[in-house]
């Protein structure tokens, strides 16, 4: 058992590209931490530095409290699962799993015994004598995991191990990976660009952008309290709707203006977010998750604040509908690293239809393309950001410092 710690780790490649910048992260015993972010944000580089496959430019990496900066890759007690499996095609499943033990000089009988045990754990008992070309993609991934876990490592590293699998198999393998990691009870660092994968697997999730840690928190904290506009837009599918807005009025009667439309905020919003009062008469950005919007039906009930919109597209997904709509509010989008208001399109959908927002609604609600609708807004759960800095107003809920052990709870519950 061991912990993993990054302390002010920076990696600059010879061509001058700074892949990782002042990176701090602590992974506790038995904890499953996911690194997520867009391509090129430094996720895999961070993982390779732990494995000893990349040298640090500065900073410290510790395994079990021991600094491993100058320890060779083969002498670090870590096991890594790669995206492309990296299996030996001429060896059987049993020999592939046992290969790392063979390199360490473990006697043949002992290593085959351990390899068979690992194969049984991963449901490979019936194919141990087959070779990789005779296996399915999911079976090959299990073999790669078996080769890593048979070493009984202190730290388990995984670099997008499910990206080559089809959608249904990826969902199945997520639970498989977690089951194996919980059984081993080791610290695990998992890299993915898929935010859905990150949110469903991680005890905590670290969001990276351009080599810099943006936020480290539980999946629920990331979703409900993003620390800045990047995290808000990256986490969530469909993504958060972001609009240029203004706040006015006293603390107990705040009004949110989205272009010509006005939304009255409940008194508790101002009480819970004192930073909003200081933001009156200034441009801010408001974030509205798709599920916070409800298509109102009939005019008799009091639906609270509503946003007037026109339906541009309806996606029926069985258990829900995604209603793409346009409004006269100005959507905020990221252009070349700068968040700016844009009155054009939120995305190209169904033949370049211009839309500016998405609502996740009950599929039984009658709504069709071209309808003018009122969208009731749950104002108690809105997110607010400074338009200049992109930072959350009044800040997110307190998250665990990146270099300190997390509070025990979710990891222990999942491992029980």
| pLDDT, tens digit, 9 for 90 and up, residues 25-79 | 999 999 999 999 999 999 999 999 999 999 999 999 999 999 999 999 988 989 8
Q: Please, are residues 25 and 33 in contact by the beta-carbon 8 Å criterion? A: yes
> Do residues 38 and 233 lie in contact, with contact meaning Cβ atoms separated by under 8 Å?
no
| Same structural domain, 253 and 193 | no
Q: Are 229 and 387 in contact (CB under 8 A)?
A: no
C-alpha 152/C-alpha 362 separation (Å) is 47
Q: What is the mean pLDDT of each run of 10 residues along the chain (416 residues)?
A: 92 96 96 94 96 96 94 90 86 92 87 89 88 89 86 89 82 85 89 92 96 96 94 92 91 88 88 82 90 77 82 93 91 68 44 66 92 93 92 65 58 40
pLDDT confidence of residue 15: 95
Residue 412 lies in a domain: no
Residue ending a domain, among 229, 251, 284, is 229
Let me know whether 107 and 249 are in one domain: no
Query: Is residue 411 situated within a structural domain?
Result: no
Residue with tokens 């298509």: 295
Neighbours of 311 (CB within 10 A): 20
pLDDT at 404: 65
What CATH number does the domain containing 297 carry?
2.40.50.140
Q: Is the residue at 391 inside a domain?
A: no
Identify the domain boundary among 203, 229, 255: 229
Rounded distance, CA 303 to CA 301, Å? 6
Q: Do both 262 and 197 map to the same domain?
A: no
Give the separation between CA 88 and CA 132, rounded to whole angstroms: 7
Tell me what pLDDT residue 179 has: 85
Q: Are residues 213 and 303 in the same domain?
A: no
327 shares a domain with 180: no
Look at residue 411 in the predicted model and tell me its pLDDT.
41
Task: Say yes or no: 249 and 336 in one domain.
Answer: yes
In this prediction, residue 355 carries a pLDDT of 53
Domain limits for position 91: 4-229
Stated as kind and residue range, the H or E segment containing 308 is strand 306-316
Is the bond into 238 cis (omega within 30 degrees of 0)? yes
Pairing of strands 255-258, 338-342: unpaired
Helices (H), 86-236: 93-103, 108-121, 137-149, 167-184, 195-201, 219-224, 229-234
pLDDT digit string, tens, across residues 292-301: 999 986 544 5
Number of domains present in the structure of the chain = 2
Helices 167-184 and 137-149 meet at what angle, rounded to 10? Answer: 20
Mark whether 224 and 239 lie in a shared domain. no
Q: Please check whether residue 136 is in contact with residue 127, taking contact to mean a CB–CB distance below 8 angstroms.
A: no
d(CA 163, CA 358): 27
- Per DSSP, the three-state class of 23 is strand
Element (H, E) at 26: strand 18-27
């Amino acid at each position: 058992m061991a912990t993993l710690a990054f302390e002010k780790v920076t990696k600059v490649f010879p061509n001058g590209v700074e892949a990782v910048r002042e990176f701090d992260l602590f992974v506790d015993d038995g904890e499953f931490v996911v690194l997520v972010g867009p391509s090129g944000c430094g996720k895999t580089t961070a993982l390779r530095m732990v494995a000893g496959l990349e040298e640090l430019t500065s900073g410290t990496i510790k395994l079990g409290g021991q600094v491993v900066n100058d320890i060779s890759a083969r002498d670090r007690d870590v096991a890594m699962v790669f995206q492309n499996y990296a299996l030996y095609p001429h060896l059987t499943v049993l020999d592939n799993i046992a290969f790392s033990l063979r390199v360490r000089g473990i006697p043949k009988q002992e290593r085959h015994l351990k390899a068979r045990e690992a194969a049984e754990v991963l449901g490979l008992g019936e194919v141990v004598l087959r070779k990789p070309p005779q296996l399915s993609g999911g079976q090959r991934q299990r073999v790669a995991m078996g080769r890593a876990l048979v070493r009984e490592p202190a730290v388990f590293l995984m670099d997008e191990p499910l990206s080559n699998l089809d959608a249904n198999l990826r969902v199945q393998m997520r639970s498989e990976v977690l089951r194996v990691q919980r059984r081993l009870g080791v610290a695990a660092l998992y890299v993915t660009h898929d935010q859905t994968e990150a949110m469903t697997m991680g005890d905590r999730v670290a969001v990276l952008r351009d080599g810099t840690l943006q936020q480290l928190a539980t999946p629920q904290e990331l979703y409900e309290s993003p620390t800045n506009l990047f995290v808000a837009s990256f986490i969530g599918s469909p993504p958060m709707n972001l609009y240029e807005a203004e706040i006015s009025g006293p603390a107990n009667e705040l009004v949110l203006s989205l272009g010509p439309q006005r939304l009255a905020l409940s008194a508790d919003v101002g009480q819970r977010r004192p930073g909003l009062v200081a933001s009156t008469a200034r441009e801010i950005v408001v974030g509205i998750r798709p599920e916070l919007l409800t298509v109102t039906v009939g005019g008799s009930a009091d639906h609270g604040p509503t946003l007037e919109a026109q339906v541009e597209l309806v996606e029926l997904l069985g258990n829900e509908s995604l209603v793409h709509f346009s409004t006269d509010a100005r959507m905020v989008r990221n252009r070349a690293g700068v968040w700016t208001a844009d009155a054009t399109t939120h995305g190209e959908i169904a033949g370049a239809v211009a839309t500016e927002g998405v609502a996740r609604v009950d599929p039984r609600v009658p709504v069709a393309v071209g309808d003018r609708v009122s969208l009731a807004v749950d104002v108690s759960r809105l997110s607010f950001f400074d338009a200049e800095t992109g930072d959350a107003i009044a800040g997110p809920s307190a998250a665990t410092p990146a270099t300190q052990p997390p509070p025990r709870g979710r990891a222990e519950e999942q491992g029980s």
